[in-house]
Amino acid sequence: MSDSTFLDFTSATETSAANERHFSALRRGEASTDRIASVRISAATLPLKGAISDAKVLTGRQKPLRDVAFLFAEIRTEAGLEGVGFSYSKRAGGAGQYAHAREVAPELLGEDPSDIQRIWTKLVWAGASVGRSGLATQAIAAFDIALWDLKAKRAGLPLAKLLGAHRDSVQCYNTSGGFLSSSIEEVIENAAQTAANGIGGVKIKVGQPDTKIDLKRVAAVKEAIGDRIDLMVDANQQWNRSTAVRMGRAFEEFDLTWIEEPLDAYDAEGHADLARELATPIATGEMLTSVAEHAELIRHRSVDFIQPDAPRVGGITPFLKIMALGETARLRMAPHFAMELHLHLAAAYEHDPWVEHFDWLEPLFNERLETEGGRMIVPARPGIGVSLSDQARAWTTATETFGV
């Protein structure tokens, strides 16, 4: 059935009672027979405080970013338990994600919510003619994340603990204050505020048409922060191979934690050559949309830091496969964006990860994450630990519910 506004699925009291019924059955040694009763999808548009520009904008590839489109999935079981997941799109594709989710959502009804990997495969094959990566799997990601959120809630655990956490906090760095649309004075002020807020690093954008400007901005930020916090740069795929080598060598005096996306996202061989050439670590992967694409980076030894994005690769289920590949190759990891989700995944990664601090998504959720001593604290709340805010509901542009 369709509705034009968000519905109240259940009260906190009902959710607590549902959990108690679930745990009582487990104590009696009974297998769960719970099934997915309803699925609600919603499209919402998050407006940014101002237009954001990086190298892709300054070179004419893209327009400034003014908002982010979100796809939310809320899954409820017959026992009254709920999971919330999301995916997103920048600039274009949000309507397509919602349309695809709307087509495949009925496939979830009646399924055992614990069978997450089988459900992921079922949803992929429901839309197999449009492929197993890209927009189709990004739509599926919202359902997959909601199912993992639900599974962790059923266990009474934060998602990180359900997956098997290596740590209770993760190193974090801020990006939102380092865009090219900000003056160098603003970037320096933001870096100082980042350190004051207990965040351990700051990443600034590079990739200007005039590379001398990049060098001046990086030098100014490094002088301002010294060794108090880490410094990273992000070229957003702007350079060709020779420019990347030249800029990488010029940046070595600044002791950067990494250089991000120096080349085209799909240039695995070029990144591998660059990683061998430079002393500064190389990071990339945020634009890739499948396990296979990340496997190619790892196979070529193209990166020191892998940067997968769970909503972009199809959810937590494929993300865990990328984690396994990265751990086997002994790579470090710094997931892209969506700290509310990626904090849990980074906490479950073996090799000393980072998580990206973006405060953009905060209006969408009722809860907040804490930072202290350069690290982000994994919340103790069950599941991912977030619930949709009234503001998220106010920004909703379309919604539909399947099941009862």
Question: CA-based angle 165:285:345, to the nearest 5?
Answer: 15
- Specify whether the CB–CB gap between 188 and 221 falls below 8 A: yes
- One-letter identity of residue 302: S
Return the number of other C-beta atoms located less than 10 Å from residue 368's C-beta. Answer: 10
Mutual angle of helices 268-277 and 241-251, in 10-degree steps: 30
Partners of 376 in beta bridges: 170, 371
- Specify whether the CB–CB gap between 227 and 274 falls below 8 A: no
- Of the residues 336, 342, 344, 357, only one is catalytic, namely 336
Pairing of strands 332-333, 82-90: unpaired
DSSP 98-152: HHHHHHHGGGGTT--TT-HHHHHHHHHHHTGGG-SSTHHHHHHHHHHHHHHHHHH
Torsion of CA 199, 259, 331, 294, to 10 degrees: 110
Residue with tokens 């009925």: 106
- Specify whether the CB–CB gap between 315 and 118 falls below 8 A: no
Pairing of strands 375-377, 169-174: antiparallel
122 is catalytic: no
49 is catalytic: no
- Of the residues 22, 56, 151, 205, only one is catalytic, namely 205
Specify the long-range contacts of residues 79-82, CB closer than 8 Å, at least 24 apart.
79/18, 79/21, 79/22, 79/34, 80/10, 80/14, 80/15, 80/17, 80/18, 80/21, 81/15, 81/18, 81/19, 81/22, 81/34, 81/113, 81/150, 81/153, 81/154, 82/9, 82/10, 82/15, 82/150, 82/153
* Rounded-to-integer distance, Cα 133 and Cα 116, Å: 18
Q: Which residues are catalytic?
A: 205, 336
